[in-house]
Amino acid sequence: MGCLRLILGDQLTHTLPVLTDAVKSKDLVLMAEVREEATYVPHHKKKIAFLFSAMRHFAVELRDEGYTVDYVDYRNEDNQGSLLEQVKYQLKQHNLNKVVVTEPGEHRLKQSMAQWSNVLGVDVDILPDNRFLATPDDFSRWAEGRKQLRMEFFYREMRRRYSVLMDGDKPIGGKWNYDEQNRKPMPETHKVPSPTTFEPDELTKEVLKLVEDEFDDHFGQLTPFSMAVTRKQALQVLNEFIEKRLPDFGQYQDAMVEGKPWLYHSHLSFHINCGLLTPKEVIMAAEQAYHAGTAPLNSAEGFIRQILGWREYVRGFYWHFMPSLKSDNYFHHDRALPAFFWDARTNMNCMRQCIKETRDHAYAHHIQRLMVLGNFCLLTGLSPAAVQEWYLLVYADAYEWVELPNVAGMILYSDGGNLASKPYVSSGSYINKMSNYCKNCGYKVSKKTGEDACPFNYLYWRFIDAHSERLRGNPRMGMIYKTFDRMSDDKIQTMRDDGARFLARLSRNEEV
């Protein structure tokens, strides 16, 4: 008898052991578009379309390679609605006596799969995911005994381990991190290369029609749709990034420009996180560009740090701190998510731009997610659970293992500092420095208080004031509290009052 080899929607990689160990003449590969996974949060329409199309194309490739594939599409009359029920059904239909699957990227699903053998009455092998460069156990060994789990030190060990941008045991250039060279605002006249796009083929058009019919009530714009949905297309995105955008990626990676959502970013997280590209090949491509002299060190290092450092780190962090990470609420925040997070109807132009781009593309780059949207979420005390769900459903590259540490640890500081060394909050001055958003805003970034003052200004100092007891002892907050302590009582009270009025309007879902 053969075995059932289950492939999930974010496991579209030909070199996974679940495939390479298969006996093509006996084993059955199962892929399924199940309702439970598509709707446990109401994912962005483009996210669903991207994954369903990529899955269908991957199934075609597997059949071309000689695998026997049962692909259960969303409307198939044999679709059982959940992965467990679908596996149970296929085992019975094909008289198979074993299940093999790559470990999933979500805690809830891994906990469920751990019980599958008892439920199904057959052996269930859960194989490690070999696409990551550090295992969860690697992270836990690194974390053991450390008072602080800072990504920078994990990143350095990964650089040494894989000899990336290294000169012997020293970093090339003499420094591990060139972040200070990666914070330039974009000049007004700068022309940015266009992103790599593709016309939908017939398979993708079928998926777009399905999503239009079945997920019409989900957030986001479905069309135009131009995402890479095959490995061949994803490799083209990688190659064009390395050639056209990596050279200037470093200096402008934190910049934000109204009407230009893509800038110099790679847009590769879609394809890495679902398996069409592997992190190792992406890292090697950037490193080779540096050695070939086509990309400066600050660009290559900054990009590699996002993958070899940050991506590997947050995955290890996720498994190390689950399940408590999901329920942590250090500041006891509980405000409901404002309605404008769905319709972008706000006078704050920075928020309007980032939400509109998220709605239209299922994408916003990391500074938009952290220092505009996330900054607002923390300053206004939004519920961590509501914010986590929003970030998980609106971005096409979001899976819980990568979304949750970023949101709970980096954006909301709801884990109390296990991930970040301080809360990532700022006034409007940072947004004004790194973007042109403030020029077309309904508020004045130069004003600190008053009806037409930038809300980020008084909300920032209100946050510093409100959480003084928790944050004053943080060494990285020392200068901020010295500034705060020099403020007059009248100024502090005015900011408290402005903040309270704004938050009251927010809670009533009035336009802000």
CA distance 29 to 69: 5
Unique residue bearing structure tokens 């403030």: 438
Which string of b and e fits 136-167 if b means at least 16 CB within 10 Å?
Answer: bebbeebbeeeeebebeebbeebbeebebbee
Q: What is the DSSP string of 192-232?
A: PPPPP-----HHHHHHHHHHHHH-TTSSS---S-----SHH
pLDDT tens series, the chain, 512 aa:
789 999 999 999 999 999 999 999 999 999 999 998 888 899 999 999 999 999 999 999 999 999 999 999 999 999 999 999 999 999 999 989 999 999 999 999 999 999 999 999 999 999 999 999 999 999 999 999 999 999 999 999 999 999 999 999 999 999 999 988 888 898 888 899 999 999 999 999 999 999 999 999 999 999 999 999 999 999 999 999 999 999 999 999 999 999 999 999 999 999 999 999 999 999 999 999 999 999 999 999 999 999 999 999 999 999 999 999 999 999 999 999 999 999 999 999 999 999 999 999 999 999 999 999 999 999 999 999 999 999 999 999 999 999 999 999 999 999 999 999 999 999 999 999 999 999 999 999 999 999 999 999 999 999 999 999 999 999 999 999 999 999 999 999 999 999 999 999 999 999 99
Query: Do residues 8 and 34 lie in contact, with contact meaning Cβ atoms separated by under 8 Å?
Result: no
Residue 475 burial (10 A CB sphere; 0-12, 13-18, 19+): exposed
pLDDT in tens, 164-199: 999 999 999 999 999 888 888 988 888 999 999 999
Residue where the block lists tokens 């999503």: 211
Q: Any idea which fold 136-321 has? A: 1.25.40
DSSP state of 8: -
CATH-assigned architecture of domain 340-507: Orthogonal Bundle (1.10)
Distance in angstroms (rounded) separating the CA atoms of residues 149 and 348: 35
What SS3 class is residue 5?
strand
Residues 277 and 435: their CA atoms lie apart, in Å, by: 31
Token digits of residue 350: 């920075």
Domain ranges of the chain: 4-127, 136-321, 340-507
Q: Any residues with CB less than 8 A from the CB of 248 and at least 6 apart, and which? A: 264, 299
Class for the domain spanning 4-127: alpha beta
Residue identified by tokens 């938009």 is 368
